[in-house]
Amino acid sequence: MRTNGDDVVMPQHIVWDWNGTLLSDNDAVVAAVNQVCASFGREAVTLDDWRAVFTRPIVRSYERLFGRSLSEDEWARVDSLYHVHYRERLPTCRLADGVPDLLHDWRNGGGSQSLLSMWFHDELVPLVGRLGLAELFARIDGLRADIGGGSKAEHLAEHLTALRLDPADVVLIGDVADDAHAAEHVGARCVLVSSGMGTREALVATGAPVATSIPDALDLIVRDRVA
């Protein structure tokens, strides 16, 4: 059991989100979204435009953007187009400020951590390995489906079960409201960072603490301001 200076129990395990949290990929995301927009005859968007419509399931984000419903075939086309162009830009993405040093600090201080992403598992694992981060995580889980965009809640439940963790010992760090909803679903705590796809207003509305960066998020945890 870990406590802060006031003998309040602190989370012992961090479940990290990947895209928009540990990986700074906003530019790649917006560029890929705009390739989809061009294919569907929609004008290009800015990061703020995409943040304003972003939600899960992600098909709803595109429906908000296009102002109409998408058929299953259209959604499959959107998903495929997005990922083709995102992959082209993935090598330009960098790790978030403080990564990996602060993750080493968390581990060296006695904490454990894992990675749960909605990016495709077969691509996530080698990417994390190439970036030299794999040994930091007790478990790495990505999406094991052909089409993504759904909620993280059930994936988080399966992730914690595989790790045999009590959700009360866990804090999830992510960048969108769905991360907070997933944590609430399993009974874990959550800290959100405003560096990714979620608007600050949407993040604050979840009731979870909102940090501006990874260093800030870890500071919130260490000082046990995570409710």
Percent of the chain past pLDDT 70, that is, above it, reads 92
Pick the CATH number of 26-92 from 3.30.420, 1.10.10, 3.40.50, 1.10.150: 1.10.150
Each residue of 139-176: pLDDT tens digit? 999 998 776 656 899 999 999 999 999 999 999 999 99
Q: Which two tokens stand for residue 6?
A: 């006031």
Identify the pLDDT of residue 7.
46
What is the distance between the terminal CA atoms of the chain, rounded to a whole angstrom?
17
Each residue of 177-207: pLDDT tens digit? 999 999 999 999 999 999 999 999 999 999 9
What integer is the mean pLDDT of 65-83?
A: 96
Q: Does residue 4 register a pLDDT over 60?
A: no
In this prediction, residue 226 has a pLDDT band, given cuts at 50, 70 and 90, of: low
DSSP letters of 137-164?
A: -S-EEEE-SSS----SHHHHHHHHHHHT
Identify the pLDDT of residue 224.
57
> What is the average pLDDT value for the chain, to the nearest integer?
93
Q: Which two tokens stand for residue 144?
A: 């094991």
In angstroms, the CA 110 to CA 118 distance is: 27
Asked if the domains at 13-24+94-222 and 26-92 fall in one CATH topology, the answer is no
Rg over alpha carbons for the chain, rounded to the nearest Å, is 17
In the chain, where are the structural domains located? 13-24+94-222, 26-92
In this prediction, residue 60 has a pLDDT band, given cuts at 50, 70 and 90, of: very high
| 13-24+94-222 under CATH 3.40.50.720, yes or no | no
